[in-house]
């Protein structure tokens, strides 16, 4: 089996953190003789600079061929004022859509070593372990018609469309149920069925599909209530499944409950387990190039790649364990630094994880 990986470091801190994750993949490759073949290319602002567009056709062609993509992060002030159609984020949206990466898995896990980092009281977040399953290729992100038009009244109107087909809902909801089966068997589907027809259909499909997963306890929650409950009692959740925009909002909210988004990986999967793996955090242009960013979210994203695309649980576990051991040794990058710990650079953190492998 071929094991081709495309590395898209992207912008801001992307190159630095990806470098550390690649170190880890190299060690795993040698250790287990996995035969990884890594290729590098540009995405986002870096691709605008290199190719004139945030995702070149040639890059997309390579992405289609490989088994997995490791992504850093995209965007930054340098490209804030360029033409809308070639903004860095468009590269990200395009690769998600073109590769059919509909299932976005975003864990929000509180590492016991970092318990103090949360703005929430310890008793509300100790042991927090939520998985958000976000639909990533549908809804208002890609819905047509969309645009800004001139009305007859002479004023402009911006408009977007939020569409969901039954099959689109079904496939992501099944991922939600399957993930719940592997965890604590609780699935909360989030929608706004009291207002939106797209959500009404969503809820109907969820209830239909639930029959195939009698072992999973299903609940429904309106999105406004979910945003409240994530603050009130976050540990009530196991797996949350939701549509693209709600997932964008709730997964960011949930990740911040941990206080250390520099620790949180993500996976975006297609129907066959092919995936793109990236940290949940952004490109942090303010600290780019300083060798101080936290590479652990990207390293943990590499672990997710091993787990979900290469089905190599052993090495995925090993990486996750190595990250835990590194934290146990009180090594901290600036973003997770606390009293009595040792502050390390991006590369020192990467090396420390490698040393544990």
Q: Three-class SS of residue 286?
A: helix
Of the residues 51, 111, 141, 308, which is catalytic?
141
Measured from the CB atom, is 249 or 337 closer to ligand IPM?
249
Of the residues 252, 270, 329, 343, which is catalytic?
252
Q: To the nearest whole angstrom, how small is the minimum distance from the Cβ of residue 198 to its own copies?
A: 4
Measured from the CB atom, is 255 or 326 closer to its own copies?
255
Is residue 4 marked as binding? no
224 binds ligand IPM (CB under 6 A): yes
Q: Is 57 a catalytic residue?
A: no
Give how many residues touch ligand IPM by CB under 6 A: 7
Q: Is 224 a catalytic residue?
A: yes
Contact 272/241 with Cβ under 8 angstroms?
Answer: no
Which residues is 37 bridged to in the sheet? 4
Spatial neighbors of 197 by CB under 8 A, at least 6 apart, are none
- Of the candidate spans 16-24, 34-42, 45-53, 143-151, the one that interacts with its own copies by CB under 8 A turns out to be 143-151
Of the residues 23, 90, 192, 274, which is catalytic?
192
Measured CA to CA, the distance from residue 125 to residue 114 in angstroms comes to 11
Residues 185 to 204 in contact with its own copies, rule: CB under 8 A = 192, 194-202
233 binds ligand IPM (CB under 6 A): no
Q: Is 213 a catalytic residue?
A: no
Measured CA to CA, the distance from residue 189 to residue 176 in angstroms comes to 9
Contact 161/140 with Cβ under 8 angstroms?
Answer: yes
Is residue 134 marked as binding? yes
Cis bond leading into 296, ω under 30°? no
Query: Between 80 and 119, how does the x/- string for binding to its own copies read (CB under 8 A)?
Result: ----x--x-x---x-------------------------x
Angle at 52 between CA 50 and CA 10, to 5 degrees: 50
Give how many residues touch its own copies by CB under 8 A: 61
Query: Between 145 and 184, how does the x/- string for binding to ligand IPM read (CB under 6 A)?
Result: ----------------------------------------
Q: To the nearest whole angstrom, how small is the minimum distance from the Cβ of residue 93 to ligand IPM?
A: 6
Number of C-beta neighbours around residue 93 at 10 A:
17
Q: Residue 224: phi, psi to the nearest 5? A: -65, -40
- Backbone dihedral region for residue 14 (phi beyond 0: left; psi -120 to 50: alpha; all else: beta): alpha
Q: Residue written as tokens 């939701």?
A: 242
Q: Is 277 a catalytic residue?
A: no
253 binds ligand IPM (CB under 6 A): no
Q: To the nearest whole angstrom, how small is the minimum distance from the Cβ of residue 267 to ligand IPM?
A: 12
Residues 56 to 95 in contact with ligand IPM, rule: CB under 6 A = 89, 92-93
Q: Residue 141: phi, psi to the nearest 5? A: -65, -35
Over the Cα atoms of the chain, what is R_g? Answer: 20
Q: Residue 239: phi, psi to the nearest 5? A: -115, 135
Spatial neighbors of 151 by CB under 8 A, at least 6 apart, are 157
Spatial neighbors of 219 by CB under 8 A, at least 6 apart, are 186, 187, 188, 189
The binder of ligand IPM chosen from 122, 195, 228, 355 (CB under 6 A):
195
Residue 160 corresponds to which tokens in the numbers above?
A: 């977007």
Q: Is 208 a catalytic residue?
A: no
Provide the annotated binding site: 76-89, 96, 106, 134, 224, 248, 252, 282-294
Provide the annotated binding site for NAD(+): 76-89, 282-294
Question: Which chain residues interact with ligand IPM by CB under 6 A?
Answer: 89, 92-93, 194-195, 224, 248
| Active-site residue set | 141, 192, 224, 248, 252
Question: Which chain residues interact with its own copies by CB under 8 A?
Answer: 84, 87, 89, 93, 119-121, 124, 140-141, 143, 146-148, 151, 155-167, 192, 194-202, 223-225, 227-233, 245-246, 248-253, 255-257, 259, 261
């Amino acid at each position: 089996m071929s094991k081709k990986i495309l590395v898209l470091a992207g912008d801001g801190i992307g190159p630095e953190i990806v470098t550390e994750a690649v170190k880890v993949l190299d060690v795993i490759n040698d250790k287990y003789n996995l035969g990884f073949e890594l290729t590098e290319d540009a995405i986002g602002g870096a691709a605008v600079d290199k190719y004139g567009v945030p995702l070149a056709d040639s890059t997309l062609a390579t992405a289609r061929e490989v088994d997995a993509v490791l992504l850093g992060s995209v965007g930054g002030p340098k490209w804030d004022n360029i033409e809308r159609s070639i903004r860095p984020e468009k590269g990200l949206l395009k690769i998600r859509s073109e590769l059919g990466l509909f299932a976005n898995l975003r864990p929000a896990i509180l590492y016991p070593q970092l318990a103090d980092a949360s703005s929430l009281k310890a008793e509300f977040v100790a042991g927090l372990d939520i998985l958000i399953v976000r639909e990533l290729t549908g809804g208002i992100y890609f819905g047509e018609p969309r645009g800004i038009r001139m009305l007859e009244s002479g004023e402009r109107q911006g408009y977007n469309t939020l569409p969901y087909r039954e099959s689109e809902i079904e496939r992501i909801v099944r991922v939600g149920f399957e993930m719940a089966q592997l965890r604590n068997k609780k699935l909360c589907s989030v929608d706004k069925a009291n207002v939106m027809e797209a959500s009404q259909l969503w809820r109907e499909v969820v209830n239909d599909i639930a029959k195939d997963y009698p072992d999973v306890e299903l609940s429904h929650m309106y999105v406004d209530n979910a945003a409240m409950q994530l603050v009130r009692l976050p540990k009530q959740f196991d797996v949350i499944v939701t549509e693209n925009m709600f997932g964008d909002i709730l997964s960011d909210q949930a990740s911040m409950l941990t206080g250390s988004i520099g620790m949180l990986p993500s996976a975006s999967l297609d129907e066959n387990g092919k995936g793109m793996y990236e940290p949940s955090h952004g490109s942090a242009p303010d600290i780019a190039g300083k060798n101080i960013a936290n590479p652990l979210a990207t390293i943990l994203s590499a672990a997710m790649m091993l787990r979900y695309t290469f089905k190599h649980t052993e090495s995925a576990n090993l990486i996750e364990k190595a990250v835990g051991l590194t934290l146990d040794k009180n090594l901290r990058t600036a973003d997770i630094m606390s009293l009595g710990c040792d502050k390390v650079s991006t590369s020192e953190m990467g090396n420390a994880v490698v040393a544990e492998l």
